[in-house]
C-alpha cells in the first residue's frame, strides 16, 4: 500500500460498506466481529492496516495503521504514509507538527501481554481535505507512535 491509498481510505471514512463495494474499493469480504453481538465489524486491508465498521449501519468509521509491534501477534505496516505522517514518530515530533491535542489520555498499565502504554492524543485533520475526521496517535511506553487511528469526529452514536 502507498501513501495515496492510505489518504484515499481516510477520505472514505463515513462511507457505507455497500458503497465501497459498488465503487470497487473493497471486495465483498466477510466483516468479522471480535465477539458475538459486537458493535464493530473489522476487515484487514493489508499487513498492519485494518478498517472498522459500525455493525448496525456498516458505515466505515475507523482506519488503523499499526506502526510498532507491541504484542506477539501484531504485524506492522511498512508502506508509505501521506505527509506529515511517518513510520517512525515520537510524541515530541507529533507536538511539533500538530501542536496541542484536543483530547488526550496519559499512560495506562494494561493487562499482559500489552503492559504499559504511553496513552494517546487526538487532533482534528485539515477540514478542507478531510472534513469531519481526526487522527489519534497511540503511544508506546517510550512515547513512540505505535498506531495511527483515523476516525470520524462525529460517529452519530455513543
DSSP state, residue 110: P
Measure the CA–CA gap between 55 and 103, rounded to whole angstroms: 25
In a domain, 158, yes or no: no
In a domain, 59, yes or no: yes
**Does residue 123 fall inside a structural domain?**
yes
How many whole angstroms separate alpha carbon 64 and alpha carbon 42? 10
3-state SS assignment for residue 28? coil
Copy the grid coordinates of residue 72.
506477539
Cis peptide before 86 (omega within 30 of 0): no
Domain span at 12 = 3-152
Total domains in the chain come to 1
Contact 96, 52 (CB under 8 A): no
| pLDDT tens digits, one per residue of 125-156 | 999 999 999 999 999 989 999 999 999 998 87
| pLDDT of the residue at 34 | 78
- Residue count of the chain: 158
Report the mean per-residue pLDDT for the chain. Answer: 88
Indicate the pTM of the whole model.
0.89
Q: Is the pLDDT higher at 110 or at 63? A: 63
Would you say residue 122 lies in a domain?
A: yes
Cα–Cα distance between 102 and 81 in angstroms, integer? Answer: 23
Asked if residue 157 is part of any domain, the answer here is no
What span, in angstroms and rounded, lies between the C-alpha atoms of 87 and 44? Answer: 19
Query: 41: part of which helix (H) or strand (E)?
Result: strand 40-46
DSSP state of 121: E
Q: What is the pLDDT of residue 73?
A: 75
Residue 91 lies in a domain: yes
Amino acid at each position: 500500500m502507498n501513501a495515496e491509498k492510505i489518504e484515499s481510505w481516510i477520505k472514505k471514512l463515513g462511507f457505507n460498506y455497500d458503497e465501497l463495494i459498488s465503487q470497487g474499493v473493497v471486495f465483498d469480504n466477510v466483516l468479522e466481529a471480535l465477539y458475538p453481538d459486537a458493535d464493530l465489524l473489522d476487515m484487514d486491508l493489508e499487513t498492519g492496516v485494518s478498517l472498522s465498521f459500525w455493525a448496525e449501519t456498516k458505515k466505515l468509521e475507523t482506519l488503523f495503521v499499526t506502526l510498532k509491534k507491541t504484542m506477539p501477534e501484531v504485524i506492522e505496516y511498512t508502506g508509505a504514509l501521506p505527509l506529515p505522517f511517518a513510520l517512525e514518530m515520537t510524541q515530541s515530533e507529533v507536538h511539533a507538527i500538530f501542536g496541542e491535542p484536543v483530547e488526550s489520555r496519559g499512560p495506562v498499565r494494561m493487562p499482559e501481554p500489552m503492559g504499559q502504554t504511553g496513552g494517546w492524543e487526538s487532533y482534528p485533520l485539515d477540514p478542507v481535505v478531510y472534513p469531519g475526521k481526526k487522527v489519534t496517535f497511540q503511544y508506546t511506553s517510550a512515547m513512540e507512535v505505535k498506531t495511527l487511528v483515523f476516525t470520524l469526529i462525529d460517529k452519530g452514536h455513543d
